Structure 1
Amino acid sequence: MARIALFISLITFPLMSFATPKTWLDTSFVKRAFLEVALKNEYSSGDKPLVKWQQPIKIWVKHKVADQILHDELVDAHLLHLQKITGHSISRVSTRKHANVIWIFTRESLWQQDISQEIGKDALKHIHGAICTASYRVSVKNKDIVRATVIVPVDQSRAHGKLLACIVEEITQVMGLPNDSQLAYPSIFNDRTPDDLLSPLDVVLLKLLYEPSLKSGMSKSQVSDQIDILLVQYQRDGILKNAVNVSRSAPLWKILE
């Protein structure tokens, strides 16, 4: 199967103080944010086709560092929330051969080696200033995501106070929302957002992505037409208003309390 790859990294920026507007209630804002986050990526210009998973996501986690119990707890909590929001099947598997997502907790001294081995040497040119990274591969034929990799150097991400952000953002982006954008706020796809967990806007973006009417390979105009229809339904059914509750129901919030 021919595949193309996309690389994603979390880069730190100084945080700025913003009032938090309820942007997820504004359908025009949500639409613009979705088109920016889902149909663009930071390493090439222009609009891309929509990509998402069709097959169940099966994740194998390799630990090259200590604190395995903590890392597993954080991963499992976030995966449970992603599955609840999207309705897509996401599970952990015990062997690498049964996985389509390889997730490695490593250390900074091994990070470049792990990236070269798991993603490819070309990915090294994208990690300047990054503290963790991810990549996914899509089928050229239908644009379904078929494999992904997440690599988190724990010592490096902890040094920046971003271990939780790496866990949340990298696996969320390989769901099919690859681009960071200043047009999405508050959002984990905006590096100036102070919170590390999914915002109400992120909840809406993820739910939209996994609506059956949005299909892999759709163009910007096709996606735009469907988003208009879906957001009318979301507004009417109270989904936009309830996004705050869904965001705050994240199992990770309970762990952090």
Structure 2
Amino acid sequence: MARIACLFLSLIFSSPLYAVGQTWLDPHFVQQAFLEVALKNEHQPGDKPLAKWHQPLKIWLQHKVGDQALHESLVDAHIQHLQQITGHPIYRVSTRQQANVVWIFTRESQWQQDIREEMGQEALKYVRGAICKASYSVSPRTNEIIKASVIIPVDQSRSHGKLLACIVEEITQVMGLPNDSELAYPSIFNDYTPDDFLSPLDVVLLKLLYEPKLKSGMNQQQVTQQLKFLLQRYQHDEVLKDAVTVARSAPLRKMLE
């Protein structure tokens, strides 16, 4: 039987380091950022094939801590934005059996056990320094993402002031952008970005990922070839310029203003 590949993703606590200009307006910068974030993984060296969802993301939330209504409203606001950006269906379901994404709000004293149960023993190798965690599995035949897990120890993430960052980053990464990189800035995929919301660059990266011309299983050469044409169109149609408005219109941002 073919083995289902699994990728592990973590949010590491860091502090702001630097600031740059409007990088999302530069097609070359966007292309390099996409290749770094989409075709690499923080825990595995080398390039990997492109991975994305073909099926809708069906998310089941499990609450092992209080503030259920708050957590649900934060999740709902962010997945609404992700769906608006990508055009890919994302919604919550009422039972675990219906879900392909299991999302657990837990506490620090339980989260290693939750990681072991949901992601396997291997995932515990990457817990050190992390304040929340996600993983996804891909089909060995098509490299499409078929299931995912998100685990947030609420007390731990709040103690670092990173509950919102965990909610935004982990589910965004399991869309198929698994790598953190200093070459992507400003971005939630860069540990030194001070803003916890999706940046204009993140908006562009997500839009690109769910373009029909970019297909699961593509290698770096194939992805690069398509990116050049897509980014020419994005520049001509002012998609790059409009990314600022899309980022600022995030329901989660408006909810917390």
- TM > 0.5: yes
Query: In the alignment, what sits opposite 2:145?
Result: 145
- Runs of 4+ in structure 1 off by over 6 angstroms are none
Q: 2:53, 2:144 within 8 Å by CA — same for their partners in 1?
A: yes
Distance 2:121 2:19 in 1: 41
Question: Structure 2 regions of 5+ residues with no counterpart?
Answer: none
Compute the displacement of 1:91 (Å): 0.6
Query: In the alignment, what sits opposite 2:9?
Result: 8
Query: In the alignment, what sits opposite 1:59?
Result: 59
TM-score by length of 2: 0.99
Matches within 5 A, 1:57-96: 57-96=57-96
Compute the displacement of 1:219 (Å): 0.5
Compute the displacement of 1:78 (Å): 0.1
Q: CA RMSD in A?
A: 0.7
Query: In the alignment, what sits opposite 2:229?
Result: 229
Compute the displacement of 1:46 (Å): 0.7
Distance 2:247 2:26 in 1: 17
Q: 2:36, 2:181 within 8 Å by CA — same for their partners in 1?
A: yes
The answer as to 2:40 corresponding to 1:40 is: yes
Distance 2:41 2:124 in 1: 17
SS in 2 for 1:146: strand
The answer as to 2:185 corresponding to 1:178 is: no
Distance 1:120 1:134 in 2: 12
Amino acid at match of 2:253: W
Compute the displacement of 1:238 (Å): 0.6
Question: Structure 1 regions of 5+ residues with no counterpart?
Answer: none
Amino acid at match of 1:8: L
The sequence identity of aligned pairs, in percent, is 68
Matches within 5 A, 1:195-234: 195-234=195-234
- Count residues in correspondence: 256
The answer as to 2:188 corresponding to 1:194 is: no
Q: 2:19, 2:186 within 8 Å by CA — same for their partners in 1?
A: no
Show CA shifts across 1:134-185 (max 9, x none).
Answer: 0000001000000000000000000000000000000000000000000000
Q: 2:63, 2:105 within 8 Å by CA — same for their partners in 1?
A: yes
Distance 2:19 2:199 in 1: 14
Amino acid at match of 2:249: S
Distance 2:31 2:96 in 1: 37
Show CA shifts across 1:35-54 (max 9, x none).
Answer: 00000001111110000000
The answer as to 2:128 corresponding to 1:120 is: no
SS in 2 for 1:53: coil
Amino acid at match of 1:163: L
Compute the displacement of 1:15 (Å): 1.9
